[in-house]
Amino acid sequence: MLLVSIVKDQPLTSLSRLTRSLVLHRALHGFEAWQANSDNEVIFTYNIAGRRVNVTLIFHPDTRRLLSGQVDGLGDLDDGLQDVIDSHVNGNNPQALVAAIKARAWHGT
């Protein structure tokens, strides 16, 4: 396990504690990577319950208002997902959108 190897190989310093905390946080939330394709588009990649889930958030230029969202990697869990995306886009709530998608991936509903 990555976290165990970090703990065994490094002495405790403030920086190493921060690094370990970030590694643990990423592991607990399944976060793998993010990519900004443009000034108003960002893609987050999660590994949740064996699924590689990509969440794309597109924001309206210059306003930081959520314009749309897209999800890849949920397979059979896509039923009704567009309603979830639309409700969070209408509420301009990207954090809740990502949380709802992750919950669907974790619980399979």
Q: What is the pLDDT of residues 23-42, one digit of tens each?
A: 776 666 778 888 998 889 99
The beta strands (E) that lie in 13-79 are given as 31-38, 41-48, 51-59, 66-72
DSSP string, 95-109: HHHHHHHHHHHHHT-
Note the pTM of the prediction, 2 decimals: 0.72
**Cα–Cα distance between 28 and 26 in angstroms, integer?**
6
Confidence check: pLDDT of 105 > 80: yes
d(CA 54, CA 45) in angstroms, rounded, equals: 5
pLDDT at 106 over 90: no
Answer yes or no: is pLDDT of 54 > 60.
Answer: yes
